[in-house]
Amino acid sequence: MAEPKTKYDRQLRIWGEQGQAALEKASICLLNCGPTGSETLKNLVLGGVGSITIVDGSKVEFGDLGNNFMVDDSSLGQSKAKCVCSFLQELNDAVKAKFIEEYPEALIDTNPSFFSQFTLVVATQLVEESMVKLDRICRQENVMLIFARSYGLTGLVRISVKEHTVIESKPDHFLDDLRLNNPWPELRGFAEAIDLNVQDPVAHKHIPYVVILVKMADEWKTSHGGTLPSTREQKREFKELLKARMAAMDEDNYKEAIDASFKLFAPQGISSDLQQIINDSCAEVGSSSSDFWVIVAALKEFIANEGGGEVPLEGSIPDMTSSTEHYVNLQKIYQAKSEADYLVLEERVRNILKKIGRDPHSIPKATIKSFSKNARKLKVCWYRSIEDEYNNPSPAELQKYLTDEDYSIAVGFYILLRAVDRYAANFNHFPGQFVGGLDEDISRLKTTAVSLLNDLGCSGLTLTEDLINEMCRFGAAELHAVAAIVGGIASQEVIKLITKQFVPMTGTFAFNAIDHKSQLLNLC
């Protein structure tokens, strides 16, 4: 058997050992192992999740052979949960796998405490009534929940947790934390010791752009009343000054300084998003507060006292044209400041823990250090309950989506998936599910959809006949091509939630396979 570091090498590069350890501790429950559920779980098993439990009371039928790669001819008539579980176990024998031959709806009704044992539940192909019940159970037990559904040429994925906090959000684009406009004494001292007017051409072209910008900013402030460039004209003038200091046109360090000058003009202090997190009522901590909010409280104290309005320094610097000596020394200065800030934050965390009656060392150093390095990028996601979303819709949002050409089909499918559940509750089958009588099903679904739109506060708005006809034509079928995409998105969100890295989606993901489009509807 391959060593974990070799086996999971590629993903370790993305979410690191800490993220992988979280995955390997996680226990996942899958409700219904049709193609959508099987595809979701397949990705998680290959990723090395700790354990899986499959709940499905159905038997493998002939139709399953055409849309689920995890059953074959020999599976006909057997427990679907057992067959899929066996197949998934073969993919990764390090994962503990078991199955329960029971219909999820029955389990939700008769044994709600069953779900409390899991880290996360993936519920696929549930109708509205069961979704609401399960969501209520999982929220009460603080179990993360993801709904995924494929229906013909459409699909939805929706996360439901009370609150999800992210330390390592890993945004695609984020400004380097260089503090060029607010250098601390060690950085300023390092810059002052380097002469920008050095006559040696080799030395001149190997001054790091960080030093160039810090020194040129000081020069500018001396002649501009102590302020940095703020207007467009002043910024252009500052760049011209940088150009004028170039001794030769091939000095890449000065070109880098010109390109990076926007980092000097960036506003000081913390972002509005971070301020909102700090001001949140959860930041008022007590003995039951999560580790995240305890550290937020410590961060608030740090910013007000030691940080001078800034968060702890990240401590990393980008690549730049520089002599090796300058670059290494610059790295050490940033790392030393970052470490010093972390130690102050850690002390404040320990003091707060002591004050609220918790073990001062109950939060690991690694967690505080990660928080310190990522303080500018913290994220908190809140989600409405399914019951609240369904019972207290936002008519303005729905109307906006329905009248927007880019979103009308996606939100139309969202509404129609709710309509087909109402239809099934009234007629004991989904529209188009049985041969014959399709026109009658179309008429009934249209009436149901109009009634639902009225209930959602969207009276007067209609869905296109084509869309209603398509939903009936689907006949509640799970197509493997659609299920694979929906399952892929669902498993991606599972990994974000478990590793607490990257920001999970905060809306309802809607996939429209007719036009090959996907959209995020902000309804939750």
Is 320 inside any structural domain? yes
Longest dimension (CA), the chain: 90
115 shares its domain with 101:
yes
- The strand order across the sheet containing 508-512 reads 96-100, 51-55, 27-31, 120-124, 144-151, 154-160, 508-512, 517-521
Is 175 inside any structural domain? no
User: Given phi > 0 = left and psi -120 to 50 = alpha, else beta, which region is 152?
Assistant: left
pTM: 0.91
112 shares its domain with 8:
yes
DSSP, res 280: S
Q: What is the pLDDT of residues 85-136, one digit of tens each?
A: 999 999 999 999 999 999 999 999 999 999 999 999 999 999 999 999 999 9
DSSP, res 311: P
pLDDT at 435: 62
Is 51 inside any structural domain? yes
* 235 burial level (CB within 10 Å; 0-12, 13-18, 19+): middle
What is the extent of the structural domain holding 331?
Answer: 272-381
Beta strands 379-382 and 163-166, pairing class: antiparallel
Please tell me the distance from the alpha carbon of residue 302 to that of residue 297, in angstroms, as a whole number: 9
Please tell me the distance from the alpha carbon of residue 469 to that of residue 69, in angstroms, as a whole number: 29
The tokens for 190 are 């390092």
Q: Quick check: 493 and 146 in contact, CB under 8 A?
A: yes
Residue 131, domain CATH = 3.40.50.720
Going through 68-180 in order, the beta strands assigned E by DSSP cover 96-100, 120-124, 144-151, 154-160, 163-166
**Helix/strand/coil for 436:** coil
Domain boundary residue, one of 437, 458, 474: 474
74-112 burial code (b ≥16 CB/10 A, e <16): ebeeebbbbbbbbbbbeebeebebebbebebbebbeeeb
Is 180 inside any structural domain? no
Q: Quick check: 31 and 123 in contact, CB under 8 A?
A: yes
361 shares its domain with 290:
yes
pLDDT at 7: 86
Residue whose tokens read 């493997």: 480
Beta strands 154-160 and 96-100, pairing class: unpaired
13 shares its domain with 147:
yes
pLDDT at 164: 96
Q: What is the pLDDT of residues 340-366, one digit of tens each?
A: 999 999 999 999 999 999 999 999 999
Q: Quick check: 310 and 303 in contact, CB under 8 A?
A: yes
pLDDT at 524: 66
R_g over Cα of the chain: 28
444 shares its domain with 458:
yes
Q: At what angle do helices 465-474 and 408-427 cross, to 10 degrees?
A: 50
Q: Please list the alpha-helical segments (H only) found in 92-174.
A: 104-110, 128-141
Amino acid at 338: S
Is 105 inside any structural domain? yes
User: CA–CA distance from 394 to each of 54, 239, 368 (Å)?
Assistant: 35, 49, 39
Is 176 inside any structural domain? no
16 shares its domain with 57:
yes
Beta strands 51-55 and 27-31, pairing class: parallel
Is 338 inside any structural domain? yes
10 shares its domain with 137:
yes
Going through 230-383 in order, the beta strands assigned E by DSSP cover 379-382
Please tell me the distance from the alpha carbon of residue 327 to that of residue 319, in angstroms, as a whole number: 9
Number of neighbours of residue 460 by Cβ within 10 angstroms: 7
350 shares its domain with 250:
no
**Structural domain count of the chain:** 4
pLDDT at 284: 84
Going through 2-93 in order, the beta strands assigned E by DSSP cover 27-31, 51-55
279 shares its domain with 158:
no
428 shares its domain with 500:
no
Going through 215-288 in order, the beta strands assigned E by DSSP cover none
Domain boundary residue, one of 241, 265, 289: 265
Is 177 inside any structural domain? no
Q: Which residues of the chain have pLDDT under 50?
A: none
9 shares its domain with 138:
yes
Domain boundary residue, one of 265, 288, 308: 265
Please tell me the distance from the alpha carbon of residue 159 to that of residue 150, in angstroms, as a whole number: 15
Determine the distance from the C-alpha atom of residue 142 to the mean position of all C-alpha atoms in its chain, rounded to a whole number. 18
143 shares its domain with 290:
no
pLDDT at 461: 84
**Helix/strand/coil for 165:** strand
